[in-house]
Amino acid sequence: MSPEAGNPALSAWRDGAAKRAILDFVTRVTTVGHPDFVRPFDRIAVFDNDGTLWVEQPLPVQACFVLDRIQALAPQHPEWRDRQPFKAVLEGDVGGIMAIGMDGLTEMVMATHAGMSTEAFAALVRDWIATSRHPRFNRAYTDLVYQPMLELLALLRANNFKTFIVSGGGIEFMRTFSDTVYGIPPEQVIGSSIVTRYVLQDGEPVLLREAELHFFNDKEGKPVAINTYIGRRPIAAFGNSDGDFAMLEWVTSGPGARFGLILHHDDAEREFAYDRDAGLARLARGLDEAPLRGWIVARIKTDWELVFPS
């Protein structure tokens, strides 16, 4: 019995070990009487976002949003002209931008993400996403999602999986498009967050976004956040960098049938090729340990017939 029968097909996946492993796992956990059967209640699958569900090169999409917002806000901040990291951004100083460390990044995020209501922020993101284009592909970022992963999400949901995003990206950034783009509602999106505060403005309650980190959802933070938001251990996890290592480790260490998959970006022609030297998107330990841990490594070049929706 194939889980594809009457189900969304994985037609953007080429026949190969990765596709076979996915179909085999779905068959085992959904076949009543199979020793690996998992009741629908426990069919939870978690997906990283940047580089797993959509493009993250040459810069993560949310970083592009930050840079554009700094340009847009610059007239109200004349002091930025002489102050790093803003100066480098405003002058288009690529070397300076690349040299921005974690502190500078945090400062830029707070300057562009805080000091407004949750509703005002969501409106800014929606406007930006609707009008921005990827520098290489000249397409909207929401068109640069991976067709094979959309099919995988659909296949899992057709088999009564509940699908969640567990990303280092901003939770309120992703929630503006997760439902329309991935079919994942806001309450199934987990990400990094800043502090919000409930206040009355002219008698109307609003949630104000404050310039203070609430939770950074990366590395060992991912299993912690999965527990906080979902409250039980998923049975399948999908990622593409060592920021996802702990999440895959947590998920695949549970009892019963488990599935871990790492997406390896090795196709510079159709998308991008990066791994061990990719900075925040670095993938090294995952590649080294995947075989020992029984994790599947899917390679864009060989496993994907199609990268983006056509």
Using CB under 8 A, list all residues that contact its own copies.
41, 118, 162, 171-172, 175, 179, 185-189, 193, 196-198, 204-205, 207, 214, 220-221, 223-224, 227-232, 246, 249-250, 253
Nearer to its own copies (CB atom), residue 85 or residue 221: 221
C-beta of residue 49 within 8 angstroms of C-beta of residue 62: no
Identify the DSSP state of 36.
T
C-beta of residue 62 within 8 angstroms of C-beta of residue 191: no
Q: How far is the CB of 226 from its own copies (least distance, A)?
A: 9
Q: How far is the CB of 29 from its own copies (least distance, A)?
A: 18
Nearer to its own copies (CB atom), residue 154 or residue 206: 206
Q: How far is the CB of 199 from its own copies (least distance, A)?
A: 8
Nearer to its own copies (CB atom), residue 167 or residue 298: 167
CA distance 62 to 201: 29
**Contact partners, residue 150, CB within 8 Å, separation at least 6:** 182, 309
Nearer to its own copies (CB atom), residue 148 or residue 221: 221
Nearer to its own copies (CB atom), residue 135 or residue 231: 231
**Contact partners, residue 294, CB within 8 Å, separation at least 6:** 252, 260
Q: How far is the CB of 192 from its own copies (least distance, A)?
A: 12
Q: How far is the CB of 230 from its own copies (least distance, A)?
A: 5
C-beta of residue 113 within 8 angstroms of C-beta of residue 194: yes
**Backbone dihedral region of 202: left (phi > 0), alpha (psi from -120 to 50 degrees) or beta?**
left
